[in-house]
Amino acid sequence: MGTKIDRILEAAKAHCEDVIKPNVDGWNEKGVWPRAASAMAGAAGLTGLYAPEEWGGQGLPLGEGIRVYEELGKGDGAYAFALSMHNICTYATCGFGTEAFKEKWAKDLTSGRKLANFALTEPQSGSDAMTMYTRAKINGDGTWTINGSKAWVSLADEADVYLTVVKTSDEPGHKDMAMIAIPKDAEGVSFGPRYDTPSYEFLPLSEMYFKDVVVSEDNIILPIGQGLQGSLMAIDIARVSIASGCCGLMETALDTALAYAKNRKMFGGKNLDLDGIQWMLGDIATNLEVSRLLYREAANALGTDRGPLMAAHAKRFVPDAAVDAANTCTQVLGGSGLLKEYGLDRLSRLAQMLRIVDGTTEISRVVIGRALQKRAKGLPDIAVPKGYGE
C-alpha cells in the first residue's frame, strides 16, 4: 500500500495523466476554470494536503505535501499553482481559524467542494506589502467593515472565499495588519475585468474590490498584529510550491525534447546522437536534479528560522531553471518547437509566469542579499589594503 505520501503522489500523478494533460488545451480555449477537475482533485485528496484529518484533510507535513505540485506541474503549472494557493488557505483555515469558521468552511475546503484563495497584493504595491490601503473598521458589534481593493487575485470570482490581508488603522507599518476571510457572495464584493493571460486563460486573474463589506468576527484568521507575519509565511510556502511545480514543468519540457530528438533524422543520424544536443539537454537534466533537491530542502525548512531564506533560494533558482529548460527544449525542436501541438510555447509562458508570481527573482535576491549582509557581520574582519577602505 505504501505510505500516505506515496498514495497521494500516485493520486496526483493519475490526476495529471487522466485529467490535466488531456484537457488543458480545451480549458484554455474556453477560458473557464475547470471546476469539475478541481472537484476531482478534491475527491483524490489533493485539496486538503496539510489540513488535519479531523477536518477532512490528509495531515501531511509541508515537506511532504509540497511534492504534489511537481506531479501536477507536469500537466500544467498554472493549475498546480492555483491548487497550491487553495491548500495554503485550507492550512491557514484549519490551523488558525475560529471554531465557528472551521465548522462552516473547513470540510468544504479540504474536500474541494469549495475553493479558497489569498488576497494580499494591491494595485499600487506589488511586493511592497506594507504599502496597503485596504482598511477594516471594527464595529461596535464585533463585525468588520472592509473597504479597498486587491490585485492579481487568482481564482477571481471563482473561489468561494478569499483570505484577505487588511490594515485596521492609518498608522504606517504592519502592527495593525490582520487576515480575515471574505466570502465571494458577501454584499459589496466585486471583481474587475479579467486579465488577459495567454497560455493560462482558464485561471481567472483580476482585481477584487470591497465596498462597505461587512464580515463577522468569526471570520478572523489572524488577529491584529499577526497579519503580515502570517502572510509572509504563506508566501514562503507558495514560493516553495512554485519551485515544486516548476520541476514538473521542466521534466515535461525535457521529455518532449528527448522524445523528439531520438527520432529526428539529421546529418546521417539522429539529433540525440549529436554532442551539442546531448550537452544542451544534459544541462537541463542537471538543473532538474538540483532543483528537486533545493525545493525539497526548502520545504523541510519551512516553519524554521531557515525557512524564509531557503524559500528565497528555491524561488530564485528553480523558476529561472524552468524558463531556461522550456526555451532550450524549444530550441532543440527547431521550427517544430514553435508549433502548438508540442506544447513548448505554453510551457515557456507558464515558466515566465511562475518566475514572477509570489515574489520575483529580484525580490528573492534581495532576501538572499540581506542574509549575506547579516552573515558578513558575524565573520572576522579581513584587513583591506591601505587606501582601499577610504
Q: What is the pLDDT of residue 123?
A: 86
- Flag whether pLDDT at 146 surpasses 80: yes
Strand-strand pairing, 177-183 and 161-167: antiparallel
What domains are defined for the chain? Answer: 4-115 (1.10.540.10), 117-228 (2.40.110.10), 229-377 (1.20.140.10)
Q: Mean pLDDT lowest for which of 14-28, 127-141, 245-259, 261-275? A: 261-275
Does residue 342 carry a pLDDT above 90? no
Distance (Å, whole) CA 21 – CA 385: 61
* Residue partners of 292: CB distance under 8 A and separation at least 6: 70, 247
Arithmetic mean of pLDDT, 81-99: 96
- CA distances (Å), origin 16, targets 48, 70, 168, 305, 352: 17, 10, 42, 34, 21
Q: Is the pLDDT of residue 126 over 70?
A: no
- Are 165 and 120 in contact by the 8 Å Cβ rule? The answer is yes
Higher pLDDT, 26 or 385: 26
Average pLDDT over residues 226-253: 94
The burial class, CB within 10 Å (0-12 / 13-18 / 19+), for 185 is: exposed
**pTM of the predicted model, to two decimals?**
0.93
The pLDDT confidence band at residue 276, using thresholds 50, 70 and 90, is confident
Would you give the DSSP letter of residue 384? P
The Cα–Cα gap between 118 and 356 comes to: 16
State the pairing for strand pair 177-183/220-222. Answer: antiparallel
Mean pLDDT score, 181-186: 97
Q: What is the pLDDT of residue 1?
A: 58
pLDDT of 216 strictly over 90: yes
Q: What's the rounded mean pLDDT across residues 138-147?
A: 95
Cβ-contact 98, 218 below 8 angstroms: yes
Distance CA 34, CA 36 (A): 5
Burial 304-320 (b: 16+ CB within 10 A, else e): eeebbbbbbbbbbbbbb
Confidence label for 284 from pLDDT (cuts 50, 70 and 90): very high
Q: Give the amino acid at 309.
A: L
List of residues 6+ apart from 153 with CB closer than 8 A? 117, 119, 121, 162, 191, 205, 206, 207, 208
Give the 3-state secondary structure of residue 284: helix
| Average pLDDT rounded to a whole number, residues 233-247 | 95
Residues 297-312: what's their mean pLDDT?
95
List the alpha helices (DSSP H) in the chain.
4-15, 21-30, 35-43, 62-65, 68-73, 77-96, 99-110, 227-261, 275-301, 307-333, 344-356, 361-377
Residue range 381-387: mean pLDDT, rounded? 80
Task: Enumerate the H helices of 180-306 as residue ranges.
Answer: 227-261, 275-301
Cβ-contact 15, 44 below 8 angstroms = yes
The Cβ of residue 389 has, within 10 Å, a number of other Cβ atoms equal to: 7
User: Which stretch of 33-42, 73-82, 333-342, 344-353 has the lowest confidence by average pLDDT?
Assistant: 333-342
CB 217 within 8 A of CB 46: no
**Residue 136, H or E segment:** strand 135-138
Average pLDDT over residues 182-205: 93
The pLDDT of residue 390 is above 70: no
Q: What pLDDT does 241 receive? A: 96
Say if residues 140 and 111 touch (Cβ distance below 8 Å): no
> pLDDT value at position 271?
77
